Amino acid sequence: MYKGVLIFLLSALIMFHCSKVENYFSGQKHDITIKKSEQPVINITGTAFDSGRLMVFYNDSADSEKSFLYQESTNKGFSWSKPENVFKNKEEIRNPFVTKLSDQSLILVFNEMSDNLNSYGSFYLVRSYDYGKTFTVPRMIAVSEYNELTITSGIVQMGKSRLFLPVKAKDKEKQECNLLLFSPDKGRTWEKVFNITSDLNSDQFSIPVVINLKNGFLNCLLEHENGYIYSTFSDDTGRTWTKPERTNIYGKAVSPLLSDNGNLICLYEDQTPEGISMMKSYDLGKTWEVETQCIQGNNIVINPYFLSIDSSNALILYSRSNLMSDKGKTQWQIQCKLFKIEWIKQPKAVAASSHSNGIRLRWNKVNNASYYIVYRSSLPDSISGPEYRIARTKLNNYVDKTVTNSGKYYYSVSAVEGYGKLISDTGNESDLSDPVIVEYNLKIN
């Protein structure tokens, strides 16, 4: 009897966890296969245009011509075109990253395998001005005073023309450095090099990945030799950086995405449990919420890449290996999963009534709300500013005991997901509810 009850409880717990995880995703039954190969398909990168067209780039090591390939989708990744050549390359490409600039042009940066033989550091840059239909000839860019330069993530744009490119390299003394290359003119010239981990044990950190948090604020995620991801910030466009602080992300190959509603989402190769997982941050990377597994690791899954489609959707790209038992071979695949970027909904059915001890408010509960913020004003058109916040509560009701004068009052309520620490008092805050009006009389008994 006890064994049956235990099995029932475990089954219920698993069903609850799966339903909770499913809230993050589109509900598709199977991940979509983009490409199959007999050899590992790595170096996945991609972009999305405002028209909804998606492009995924990769190099297939099974291709004897060492071609760099791309495929397209016009329906959010549910079907893909046949592979096409970006260009044919003499050497194998490594560490490619594509970035769509604000003018819809593309910049593709990469290293070549032969670069390791050079005594200097360099990378290559390719452009497309026609939405990825044609690409320029690769241009080599040398970075003086450094060698063994390795691109670690894509270009970050700030403003109209300023570009940043994070790299790993060695200086003249052969010391490991985590650097940020700077271009003031959309990548035509690269003038400055900023050291992200200067005055530290730089050799303990690797694979810098930089995110533009807007308003001149940058965040860099770094892998550490202890297996954790560290985070550092710059508020002066990359010139100086805070001391890296350890996050609770235990993994590697991070791919971050900043959603339109201000959530920072980090995708990464997880080790416990094996697979691909993600964490959310509601305060721009200062703290991170509970881990959610996206892709189970019962087979090898590597090279995760977050591709933003629009304000509500993103694509998780990754490479998977499967053992073909009938042939005794391993097959590699590029696969994708649609990810829904959920916006927390505003509270509904807000009601207010006067009582002797103050004004009582109540509203319907909101899914995923960590707490609620109550706003009050004596004017209906000026209730949305932070100066009108009067309370925060985990309950879906509140009694305002601070009212001191008779008259009309206007109340609105917002729901907040997460507990942000960098942005004071808020995580991901919803729109305000429709305001309610209440007449308050101090003489009420």
Which letter does DSSP use for residue 114 in this model? G
63/172 same-domain check: yes
d(CA 347, CA 360): 16
Q: Within its chain, how far is the Cα of 359 from the centroid?
A: 41
Residue 3 is inside which H or E element, if any? helix 2-22
Q: Which of 340, 367, 393 is the last residue of a domain?
A: 340
336/360 same-domain check: no
CATH number of the domain where residue 403 is located? 2.60.40.10
332/355 same-domain check: no
d(CA 230, CA 250): 10
Residue 3 lies in a domain: no
Nearest to 317 by CA among 255, 383, 266, 264: 255
91/222 same-domain check: yes
Q: Which of 340, 369, 401 is the last residue of a domain?
A: 340
Q: Which of 340, 369, 385 is the last residue of a domain?
A: 340
194 CB contacts (<8 Å, ≥6 apart)?
179, 180, 182, 238, 239
211/87 same-domain check: yes
244/355 same-domain check: no
Which letter does DSSP use for residue 25 in this model? B
Number of domains the chain is built from: 2
d(CA 170, CA 147): 5
CATH number of the domain where residue 115 is located? 2.120.10.10
139/244 same-domain check: yes
d(CA 82, CA 258): 30
Range of the domain at 259: 31-340
- Exposure letters 354-379 (e unless 16+ CB within 10 A, then b): beeeebebbbeebeebbbbbbbbbee
C-beta of residue 232 within 8 angstroms of C-beta of residue 241 = yes
pLDDT tens digit at each of 445 positions of the chain: 444 444 444 344 334 343 334 344 554 557 899 998 887 777 899 999 988 899 999 887 666 566 788 999 999 899 999 999 887 766 778 899 999 999 999 999 999 866 454 546 899 999 999 999 999 988 999 988 888 899 999 999 999 999 999 999 998 888 889 999 999 999 999 989 999 998 667 779 999 999 998 777 899 999 999 999 999 999 999 999 999 999 999 999 999 999 887 789 999 999 888 899 999 998 888 888 888 898 988 768 888 999 999 888 999 999 988 776 566 677 889 999 999 888 889 999 999 998 888 899 999 999 888 899 999 998 877 787 788 999 989 999 999 998 888 888 999 999 988 776 545 555 678 889 999 999 887 665 4
295/271 same-domain check: yes
424 CB contacts (<8 Å, ≥6 apart)?
none
